[in-house]
Amino acid sequence: MFFTYFGQYLLLLKSVFRRPEKWRIYWKEIIHEMNEIGVGSLGLIAIISTFIGAVMTMQIAFQLVSDLIPTSVIGQINRDSSILELSPTITALVLAGKVGSSISSQIGSMRVTEQIDALEIMGINAPGYLVLPKILAGVTMIPVLVIMSIFLALLGGLVGGAISGAVTPADYISGITDGFIGYTVAVALVKAFVFGFIITSVSAFKGFYVRGGALEVGQASTRGVVISCIAILVADYIITALML
Amino acid sequence: MIEVQNIHKSFGDNHVLRGIDATFEPGKISLIIGGSGSGKSTLLKCMVGLHRPEQGKVLYQNEDFTRMDFEARIPIRKEIGMLFQNSALFDSMTVEQNIIFPLEMFTDMSRKEKVDRANFCLERVNLAGSNKLYPAELSGGMKKRVGIARAISMSPKYLFVDEPNSGLDPETAIVIDELISELTEEYQCTTVVVTHDMNSVMGIGDHIIFLYKGKKWWEGSNKEIAHSDVEELNNFVFASPFMKAAKERF
């Protein structure tokens, strides 16, 4: 069963990356999707990242109760956790729910109302026209959101630490700047790129092959989110094992 | 001209089409009729390439469409217009954008030429001025007419229509039938209509194919159908007591 679906997924991807009929029309769609995925998710990701950063600072401070450890370490731990794991993974899991379900249900509705059949009869490569702009928008906008998420998580940590008294702003800033390794950001961006691809392609796949009516579209959307989340966690483990 | 030769199509254990042969002539309206599950829509989908038959051929001007790959099918697909049962208009686009869409994809027409063509198609289906409306703002009959306008935007050689009158009141259904008839005449296209509607059968059925249990059971014209002694056809066409009485008087 798994191999049947995986084979079908690969065949869909093969069709998705066929040469577009007209780049100008695809470009318009890509810009539209970048706006939907990127700008449309900005507020949610900003709120989540800021609060996670603030909470992380307080929890690290709570666990590091020792006179032997300088409080600037709180900033260091928060920085590395946010860059390497929390920002890419939490952002991706949240977007799998928000963006993934929207993609599945949009494409699924088009399938059950014969709009995809209409595209195919016109001679348009339906997987390319419907899925390629979403994948390209996902792999460009999700890394941007992750960068923003890292920045806001660190800012949230600064504010949360200062308000709670867990760490002074000066110690925190010294912690996040000391011993910073740029490579960790590269790891985060690789993760974001892969997660962006997984979220958009898996959700589109579940929507594209839906059969039935509104009920099946809802079920496909849920399955798309679940499979995306599992795939994100597996990919997270593999990338971490390979790159660190 | 479209030729269908020995088409077989199954879904799992369900053998839906069992060796259909038929020829569809240009400038004529061919109606495919039959009860639910008889294979009408499956045959139509095999003809337009949405289903791949296990056996048999669909020939467009003697070219085997069934064995062509995606790229090879594109030139024929550009000559196909199709009206779907539920119109299948793109929800996110306005009426004008729906009609212009195939032109944007496959032609190098200027913006003005495309809008002019959309206006012409809309006038042709009596919907002039509805350019900026979205499908959600249209009635069932208007959606069908926009679907027809989109189907004719590329001046098709082949026009496929799936259940054009489903969900429409009798008056609107006649308007749609007349429109299909006029467009077939105007573009001299090969028109294939799948329908349940007996008014369409009697009104525009130049050539009728009756499917029963996945086979072509009867073929003829609307003038011949009333005199047929094929029991299955008579049970389908003259199912109601009113139609039975009408046949007896005829």
Share of chain A above pLDDT 90, in %: 91
Tokens of B64: 């085997």
**pLDDT score of B206:** 85
Give A177→chain B minimum CA distance, Å: 48
Token pair 């950063």 in the structure block, residue: A53
Q: What is the pLDDT of residues A104-134, one digit of tens each?
A: 999 999 999 999 999 999 999 999 999 999 9
Name the burial class of residue B196, with classes exposed (0-12), middle (13-18) and buried (19+) by CB atoms within 10 angstroms of its CB.
middle
Share of chain A above pLDDT 70, in %: 100
Nearest CA in chain B to A113: B88
Q: Is A218 a residue whose pLDDT tops 80?
A: yes
Give B128→chain A minimum CA distance, Å: 23
Q: What is the pLDDT of residues B26-74, one digit of tens each?
A: 999 999 999 888 899 999 999 999 999 999 999 999 999 998 988 899 9
Q: Could you tell me which of A198, A243, A188 has the C-alpha nearest to residue A225?
A: A198
Question: Out of A115, A121, A125, whose CB is closest to B80?
Answer: A121
Rounded to whole angstroms, the Cα distance separating B202 from B216 reads 19
Selected residue of A23, A114, A125 to mutate for chain B interface (largest B Cβ count, 10 A): A114
B88/A118 touch (CB, cutoff 8 Å), yes or no? yes
**Model pTM?**
0.90
Question: Out of B77, B84, B104, whose CB is closest to A123?
Answer: B77
Strand B29-34 and strand B207-212: pairing? parallel
Rounded to whole angstroms, the Cα distance separating A203 from A180 reads 36
Question: Which residues 209-228 of chain B have a CB within 8 Å of chain A?
Answer: none
Q: Greater confidence, A205 or B241?
A: A205
Selected residue of B52, B84, B152, B154 to mutate for chain A interface (largest A Cβ count, 10 A): B84
> What are the extents of the domains in chain A?
23-243
Question: Which residues 88-117 of chain A have a CB within 8 Å of chain B?
Answer: 109-110, 113-115, 117
B106/A120 touch (CB, cutoff 8 Å), yes or no? no
Tokens of B133: 């409306």
On whether any CB of chain A is under 8 Å from the CB of B49, the answer is yes
**pLDDT score of B172:** 83
**Which amino acid does the sequence have at A71?**
T
Three-state DSSP at A119 gives helix
Q: Is A140 a residue whose pLDDT tops 80?
A: yes
Average pLDDT over all residues of chain A: 95
On whether any CB of chain B is under 8 Å from the CB of A31, the answer is no
- Contact list in B for residue A118 (CB cut-off 8 A) is 82, 84, 88, 90
Rounded to whole angstroms, the Cα distance separating A70 from A133 reads 48
User: Which H or E run contains A219?
Assistant: helix A214-243
Main-chain phi, psi angles of B83, to 5 degrees: -110, 120
Rounded to whole angstroms, the Cα distance separating B23 from B3 reads 4
ipTM of this complex prediction, to 2 decimal places: 0.88
> In order along chain B (250 residues), what is the average pLDDT of each group of 10 residues?
94 92 93 91 93 94 90 91 93 95 92 95 90 94 92 93 87 87 92 89 88 92 85 84 72
CB atoms within 10 A of CB A67: 5
On whether any CB of chain B is under 8 Å from the CB of A12, the answer is no
**pLDDT score of B250:** 62
Q: CA gyration radius for chain A? A: 21
On whether any CB of chain A is under 8 Å from the CB of B136, the answer is no
Question: Which residues 17-46 of chain B have a CB within 8 Å of chain A?
Answer: none
**pLDDT score of B204:** 87
